[in-house]
Amino acid sequence: MLKIPRFLILAVSTLTFMLTGPATAQTDWPKNAIKIILPAGPGGTSDILMRLMTEPLGRLLGQPIVVENRAGAGGTIAATLAAQAEPDGYTLMMSSTATHAIGPSMYKLKFDMDKNVTAIAHVAFMPNILYVRKGSPLKNVRDIMAYARANPGKLNYASSGQGTTTHLAAVAFSQATGIDLVHIPYNGAAPATQAVLSGDAALAFENLAPIMGQIRGGTVVPIAVTVPKRSEQLPEIPTMIESGLPGFNITTWFGIVAPGGTPKPIVDKVAAAFETVLKDPKVQEQIRKLGSEPQFMGPREFELYMKSERLNWAVIVKGAGVTVN
């Protein structure tokens, strides 16, 4: 019988462990609770959206999902924490237009968006709404353009803050039409809406969820939605494209990312779980009640989408001249 030297057996055993150990560990994942960092405080759209998915997601993955709210600095605090976390699948983040599309053009980030972020899944999007107060003489997009051209520098618009999608949607509108709009930033959607209601501002763009109550109450009038397809929540309201602005597309989206280097088996497992959750009719109904639309993209598609969004928003941010150090 051929006798194999002991040192060779040990070498082969070590190599086998090195090759199979990590794969086995990834297959066994998760063994502990999974933390998902949110770049906003409790009660906001992203917070509610994530929390309505945590219970079914936890069931599918076999471990509890813990939501950690880390608001501030336009979401860059949360994004930095997530990017610098261990790439072991136990720290994820709910990303958004603000954090992973607008943020890189506005803030000096402490991480590399390409190297330190792993795309997992796009889960939902929300259109912005261009609206005016009840009784406004501005009835449609053409009215706004005509008034702004006849009265340069006299048409004010409100936003929920400098550098937000509600601000930059108006910048994109101005860039696309060549009209002169005057920005009045406020600290949140509620005071911005009040400015429109009081007449301090003639119009505003806003995410659908915060303004839906006023729309239903008839105090504000929606003029157009900013996405290519009409909203299921407001099917009678035309898109900006239908209103004469080809290619106009401003979307507030939400997705899930992990630290760069997170193993592919873990990424694929999380993505598959979110895909299953988003197919649940009850979850879809709850998401739509928030004024959002469920929409799944897998890791590769979502990665490409985020990159294209960063490029698109960089043009808008540069045009707005908005930067935050």
84 and 116 Cβ atoms separated by less than 8 Å: yes
Average pLDDT of span 12-19: 51
Q: Taking a C-beta distance cutoff of 8 angstroms, is the pair 94, 117 a contact?
A: no
pLDDT score of 126 more than 70 = yes
3-state secondary structure at position 12:
helix
Q: Check residue 14 and give its pLDDT.
A: 52
CB atoms within 10 A of CB 100: 24
Specify the pLDDT at position 2. 47
Q: Is the pLDDT of residue 151 over 80?
A: yes
- Residue range 125-148: average pLDDT? 96
Mean pLDDT, rounded, for 172-183:
94
**What is the chain's length?**
325
pLDDT tens, residue by residue, 17-38:
455 444 444 568 999 999 999 9
Reported as a single tens digit per residue, the pLDDT across 223-248 is 999 999 999 889 999 999 999 999 99
DSSP structure class, residue 239 = B
Q: Say whether pLDDT at 103 is over 50.
A: yes
Helix axes 264-278, 281-289, angle to 10 degrees: 80
Q: Is 197 exposed, middle or buried (0-12, 13-18, 19+ CB in 10 A)?
A: middle
Average pLDDT over residues 206-234: 92
DSSP letters of 17-28? HHHHHHHHHHHH
> Cα–Cα distance between 180 and 171 in angstroms, integer?
10
Q: What are the respective helix, strand and coil percentages of the chain, to the nearest 5?
A: 45, 20, 35
Can you list the domains of the chain with their CATH numbers?
32-126+252-320 (3.40.190.150), 127-225 (3.40.190.10)
DSSP state of 29: -
DSSP letter at 46?
Answer: H
Q: 137, exposed or middle or buried, with CB in 10 Å at 0-12, 13-18, 19+?
A: exposed
Given a cut of 80, whether residue 10 has pLDDT beyond it is no
- According to the model, what pLDDT value does residue 200 have? 97
Cα(317)–Cα(172) distance, rounded to whole angstroms? 9
C-alpha–C-alpha distance, residues 150 and 154, integer Å: 9
User: How many whole angstroms separate alpha carbon 249 and alpha carbon 298?
Assistant: 21
pLDDT of residue 163: 82
Predicted pLDDT of residue 73: 83
Indicate the range of 11-15, 117-121, 269-273, 277-281 predicted with least confidence.
11-15
When pLDDT is cut at 50, 70 and 90, the band that residue 16 belongs to is: low
- With contact defined as beta carbons under 8 Å apart, do 102 and 309 qualify? no
For residues 289 and 283, what is the distance between their CA atoms, to the nearest angstrom? 10
Question: Does the CA dihedral 311-316-320-324 come out positive or negative?
Answer: negative
Q: Report, in angstroms and rounded to the nearest whole number, the Rg of the chain calculated over CA atoms.
A: 23
pLDDT above 80 (res 221): yes
Half-sphere exposure of 8 (CA within 13 A, CB side): 3
The residues facing 61 across adjacent strands are none
Cα(193)–Cα(175) distance, integer angstroms: 23
Cα–Cα distance measured from residue 67 to residue 244, given in angstroms and rounded to the nearest whole number: 42
Q: pTM higher than 0.85, yes or no?
A: no
Confidence (pLDDT) at 5: 55
Predicted confidence band of residue 6 (pLDDT cuts 50, 70, 90): low
Q: Does the pLDDT value for residue 219 go beyond 70?
A: yes
Secondary structure class of 97 (helix, strand, coil): helix
pLDDT of the residue at 67: 96
Range name among 7-16, 43-52, 136-145 with the lowest pLDDT average: 7-16
